[in-house]
Chain A
Amino acid sequence: MNLQNIISEIEKVDPSINDRLDTRRSAMKQFANISGKIALAAVPLAIASMFNKAYGQTPSTVNDVLNFALTLEYLEAEFYTKIVGSPGYLTAPAVAQAALTKIKNDENAHVAFLKTVLGTNAVAKPNFDFTGNKSIAGGGPFTGYLTNYAVQLAMAQTFEDTGVRAYKGQAGNLQSNKTVLTAALQIHSVEARHASHIRYMRRALDAAIPAGQKPLKPWITLNYSGIEYPPAQANINLSFAGDEVTTQAGVNIVGIGGNSYIDAKAASEAFDEPLTKAEVLTIVNPFIIP
């Protein structure tokens, strides 16, 4: 095992790693001291503990995560608040309207909850433009969404699946606060329930699902968005990129246990993948007016 190499690799994603580890030289020395004293098998634990010290969680980390979550919840809450009652929504069957109203209420409850938890540290609600406008004159790629039920559901699915992956990506940053971690997990699973239902609704609607990606499932198959919407296709695809993974913690899930029916689709569906904060912000930024 080559620690020098590991540090070099971390450096590619985190240029400050050497500052965190004092200096590379002292880190190496520290490591040499440790590894000289303990059994070879314990070496990975020693490395882990060294990195843990470098990446310690502080309360401000927890607040950062909560404010990130709050921003996403602001976005979802305002989106559903806008579409419930809109002309597009009014074309939907009653059971679909009830479902969107239920989700709207949940997202608004998440906003209120996170604001309570954060208190005076809560970030203010940004201004949103759900046409995805930002800098496009005359309206962005989702212009007309208020009158188009199918587009509303496509947007809802993208927001929900992104939300699930976003919370998942932050769980590790909340471990220092068990109460907050548990609450975040409780929101995370609600977002997954929403995503499942929106996908169920979209399948019944059978609109704008690409031919090669049917049938649309309540779970994410490979990196399929299940959405055909050329004006914003590249951005939509970002919400599903990387979910096609079929190996978990070094274990190949395809055909696992001799069960040949677990193909790449099933293997990818069985595990939802996280998104980093940066990846999520890239996805939602077109909807946030700076």
Chain B
Amino acid sequence: MKKQSSPPLQEPMISEYGLQRRNMLKYIGAGAALMTISNACKKKNSTSGTVNLGSGDVGILNYAYALEQLEAAFYSRVIASPYAGISALEMEYMTDIRNHEVAHREFFKAAITGAAPASIIPSLEVDFSTINFTSRDSVLATAKAFEDLGVSAYNGAGQLLSTTANGTVYLGLAGKIVSVEARHAALIRDLISNGTFADTTDANGLDVPVRTPAQVLDIAKTYIKTKLDASNLPS
């Protein structure tokens, strides 16, 4: 195990939110490494070709990482070969969203690698054969599906994170990302039909649906060639 270097103590380490972010990763890393060891003992051998997301908080991080991989790959493809007749404004929005999703993907990769290097899932293989990237309708419909799926996934995953200090930090991070996904979802909906940004609310004004990992992955599997096993995730 790597020796942990001491965080600089001349700066305040604790803010009202908890530990200051800069030092957080080391802190998370040490804690999660232990969890990894104990999880590794419990984890069944994965079926060949199947990627097991793992268990506990790190399993949830892997789950989020998988979804961000999907979104980042999708928007990267959109930017590489934009649909016919894309406007400058839409190109600007798609580029921004691509940047955010790649940032999310790379963040999870770095965070999980730092926290539990033995548990991180590999890069997933995507399958976009059902999407017509030359068609605005097809691209925007897929973007809407992905963004709304992401919101429903994060909203459903919050309660699956542990109440440990690490779990609370992960909840905070997921919260920082889900509202950006919701901003994307609203914008994509407005590009399809202006004014439909929040046509996902129920009678209480709550964003619906909230999806479990199993429900999310059942939808996402159309677009992810790699088989994912979510059976060890918290429920």
Contact = CB atoms under 8 A, between A and B. Distances in A.
A215 B90 CA distance: 13
Contacts, number: 267
Q: Which of A103, A190, A262, A266 has the most CB of B within 10 A?
A: A190
Contacts of B110: 251, 256-257
A91 interface: no
Interface in A1-28: 1-2, 5-6, 9-10, 12-13
Contact of A109 (B34, B156, B179, B203): B203
Interface in B1-45: 1, 4, 6-7, 9, 12-18, 21-28, 30-31, 33-34
Given A95-B195, A196-B182, A271 B155 contact: no
B197 A250 contact: no
A262 B158 CA distance: 27
Nearest to A97: B195
Contact of A41 (B13, B34, B167, B175): B34
Contact of B205 (A109, A248, A250): A109
A: interface residue count bin? 35 or more
Contact residues of B: prevailing secondary structure: helix
Chain A binding site: helix, strand, loop or mixed by DSSP? helix
Contacts of A99: 195, 197
Interface of B: 1, 4, 6-7, 9, 12-18, 21-28, 30-31, 33-34, 92-93, 95-96, 99-100, 102-107, 109-111, 114, 151, 154-156, 158-159, 161, 163-169, 171-173, 175-187, 190, 194-195, 197-198, 200-201, 203-208, 210
Interface of A: 1-2, 5-6, 9-10, 12-13, 40-45, 48-49, 51-52, 57, 95, 98-99, 102-103, 105-110, 112-113, 164, 167-169, 171-172, 175-176, 178-179, 181-183, 185-197, 200, 215, 217-219, 245, 247-251, 253, 256-257, 259, 261-262, 266-267, 269-274, 276, 278
